[in-house]
Chains A and B, each alone.
Chain A
Amino acid sequence: MNAIPAELLRIIIGLVAVAVSVGLIGLVMVWVERKVAGHIQRRPGPFEVGPSGVLQPLCDALKLVGKQLFMPNGADPILFWLAPVLSFLPVLLLFLPLPVGDGIQTLDVNLGLLLILAFSGLAVLSVLLAGWASNNKYGLLGAARGVAQAVAYEIPLLLSVLAVAFVSGSLDLAQVVKLQGTWPWNWNIMTQPLAFLIYIVSALGETNRAPFDLPEAESELTAGFHTEYSGMGFGLFFLAEYANMVVVCSVATALFLGGWHGPVLPGPVWFVLKVSALMLLMVFARWTYPRVRFDQLLVINWKWLLPLAVANLLLTAFFVKLAQFA
């Protein structure tokens, strides 16, 4: 009887902590992205509000909150407002099974990986709803793109994750991390480099980040599925994008980069460092490459990533079985 409230308490505390930290991380990431983009482009980025402009995202958030919420003529009022909420809510859940440090985990479930993959699939629904309910042609095109893209990239993502699960023999993230060691050569990336590569590319596709930002390709579809959103409606999409980035990078860290393992420094610090490095890579990719075309995006997925992921999975399965016999 006693155990259940304790678990519940843990989840509630975790949820609150996650909600706060997701919001915070979102804001920080907005700042980091703008600052990095600025420096790449040899300009300062935000620098006016607060030291080095750290408070700029906060001001922007305030501005977004203060803006009028506008709904276009002919839009579906329920779905239109449901979409941004739906884009943000699952992100909170995605953080639950993430092991930030040794034993620091909101929800320790033995199917944590499955939970993450299942909930991350929800994001595409919000893109679809947003585009469809906006009564806007750009939105519709963006939604169509978004769905095709998300559906396609989910498969290699899953397959690459599955390969790691084979190696670890578990779908529990904490377990997967524990099985890896302190030093880089003890990490899964050494045994599964291809899976890591596939995961990163698919993750870019899955989170609609450049160079795969087709659903919102602003030079073609103005802003794609969120063309018609103003104020916090847009703000939620925006925040969800960054939160999603954090999730995929965290999962990558846990699966491939040894999670919280690392010498000298405490676990959570290592975790944050690794996640930041991955995110920096994603930010750099965005500010370096042009956008791929839609058919190319699908070609990359179906012709390259998927066969590679399948081959990788089979090979892994083979070796894992071999190791069992040996």
Chain B
Amino acid sequence: MTTSQNNDHLAGDFYTQNFAKTAKDGNLILNLGPQHPSTHGVLRVVVELDGEYVMRAEPILGYLHRMHEKMAEVKTAAQFIPNMGRVDYGHALGWNWAFVGAVEKLADIEVPERAEYVRVITCELNRIASHLLWWGAYLLDLGAFTPIMYAFDDREKVLDILQIPTGSRLTYSYFRIGGVAQDLNADCIRLIRAFIPWFRSRLPMYKDLVSDNIILRKRIEGIGVIEPDACRRFGATGPVARGSGINYDVRRATPYSMYPKLDFVVPTSELKDARGRYDVRMIEMEQSLRIIEQALDLMPEGEVLVKGAPKPSWKVPKGEAYFAVEGARGKIGAYVVSDGGKNIYRTKLRAPGFCNLSLFAEVSKGTILADAVAILGSLDLIIPEIDR
């Protein structure tokens, strides 16, 4: 800047150069990430700034790409399940479910009722954990340091509960084709029952400390407005779509498992902005509690794994199947095509974050850099899921 050294070798990589080609003269091209506090992992966003205004932004992916779909090709169906826990560390059980559900659909395997309830309970607990993680990290993006500690205090309790049946705390590989790996024991159920009222009692604190705070409200109200039409064009789902007033929840739209029997509300917000998405997630946590409560009451005794569950040498029947579940970030889909071999011929994983993030370029246009960060956070990104 002040001295004219030859910095050509630092002038940028493929993506920066490609992006810079069409930048307006005199604008600043800023590289957010892949190592940046608010890109949640290794997302990279190249932005063109005019002063503090974002003229355009382009997310660049691939820094955490692990080619899960190739791994699915070289592993048997049952062997691929551990991978699903690693796709999305926030809501690992949602991914477990999507894949396992697709294979079950393909092979026409009936899952025992208790296992379905166990799936519902653990999946919803995991959703709470995921939303808490988002909540804390989002406030960190907005510059509040303390909420994440309180959120993690609660999240730890959820992880403690989930640790009992799954044996791990983050990258669960708990669902099996035809059921789940282990039943919820009495200890676990007792902890869940204790957690529900406790977490309910915590929610007012969240409201006092953060949701009602004037600084936060001013930060997230009116920014990142996403029209329902944009959700359609980009395929945004989950809280992002619901925050734009679209009443779409896979649990209700294409009911699966025991959700039709459970009473819960799909929250939507007409605000369409970051505040709308924030509110939707906060209400969703309460609704998850309701679901868990009911599921615990309705859960029958019985097996949690179907008799004759697939052995290692199991051959996946020919055909194709698509199964979608409502993840914490939106519609998680698994599309499997089998040629009748042990390994699934083609597995396509539909990541909700992938579609939600593709909105970012459009939504961030013309915002201030700080807002762009706030919008990025409000989309709730988990990079390993987006890159897969």
Contacts and interface: CB of A to CB of B under 8 A. Distances in A.
- The answer to whether A and B touch directly, with their CB atoms under 8 angstroms apart, is yes
Interface of A: 37, 40-43, 73-76, 79, 132-133, 135, 137-138, 140-141, 144-145, 210-211, 213, 217-222, 286-296
* Prevailing SS type, chain B contact patch: mixed
Contacts of A290: 139, 142-144, 210, 213, 215-216, 219
A107 to B, nearest CB: 37
Contacts of A295: 368
Contact of B143 (A43, A138, A145, A211): A211
Given A37-B145, A288-B144, A293 B28 contact: no
Contacts of A291: 142-144, 215, 219, 370
Nearest to A219: B38
A293 B149 contact: no
20 contacts: A37-B146, A42-B149, A73-B7, A75-B1, A75-B2, A75-B3, A76-B1, A76-B2, A140-B1, A141-B49, A219-B37, A219-B142, A289-B143, A290-B142, A290-B215, A291-B215, A293-B218, A293-B368, A293-B371, A294-B370
A73 B10 contact: yes
B36 interface: yes
A220 B38 contact: yes
A133 B210 CA distance: 37
A289 B370 contact: no
Contacts of B373: 219-220
B140 to A, nearest CB: 6
A137 B30 contact: yes
A218 B139 CA distance: 12
A293 B7 contact: no
A264 to B, nearest CB: 36
B339 interface: no
A26 to B, nearest CB: 21
B219 A292 contact: yes
Contacts of A132: 1-2
Nearest to A211: B215
Contacts of A76: 1-3
Chain A CB within 10 A, most for which of B7, B149, B368, B370:
B370
Contacts of A137: 28, 30-31
